[in-house]
Amino acid sequence: MSYCATLAIHRLRLMVNLGRWDDERAERQPIEVTVKLHFPSLPEAYYTDDNDDVFCYDNLATDIKTFVADRQFNLIEYLTQELHKLTRANIVTQRGEDYAAGVWVTVHLNKCDPPIDGLMGGSSFTFTDLPEGLYESGE
């Protein structure tokens, strides 16, 4: 089994209160979120070019921004899985349960500049519900 199409939001940059320690969480810091929707077959919009058949990634991006706006998070692992749950709920809201059941979701979160001397490129966590054997690590 494999998937044949992916719709992605790449590197949605947000300022978030995120960190293990209180002083780290006190300052907003940049993260980048990539969300991928994996389809086992081509989505309807591929064939129709009809706005009624699309998944609106602007709607998802807005939900993500709203979700993190006034909250604090300790760990990238936790925030990643919360964004995964939010994405799943957004898919159901936009397109319904049947559509959501046919989509796998991967969320990759990069904490761009954690306070670790010499760390270049940040730190990241990825969570996916792709079946075993379909997920390839790396972003």
> Structural domains in the chain?
5-121 (3.30.1130.10)
* 118 torsion bin: left (phi>0), alpha (psi -120 to 50), beta (else): left
pLDDT of residue 2: 65
- Quote the pTM value: 0.91
**For residue range 83-100, what is the model confidence (pLDDT) as tens digits?**
999 999 999 999 999 999
Average pLDDT over residues 71-90: 98
Distances (CA, A) of 104 to 14, 78, 110, 112: 24, 19, 20, 26
Q: Could you give the 3-state DSSP secondary structure of residue 37?
A: strand
**For residue range 111-131, what is the model confidence (pLDDT) as tens digits?**
998 888 888 889 999 999 998
Position 1 confidence tier, pLDDT thresholds 50, 70, 90: low
Nearest partner of 103 among 44, 33, 50, judged by Cα: 44
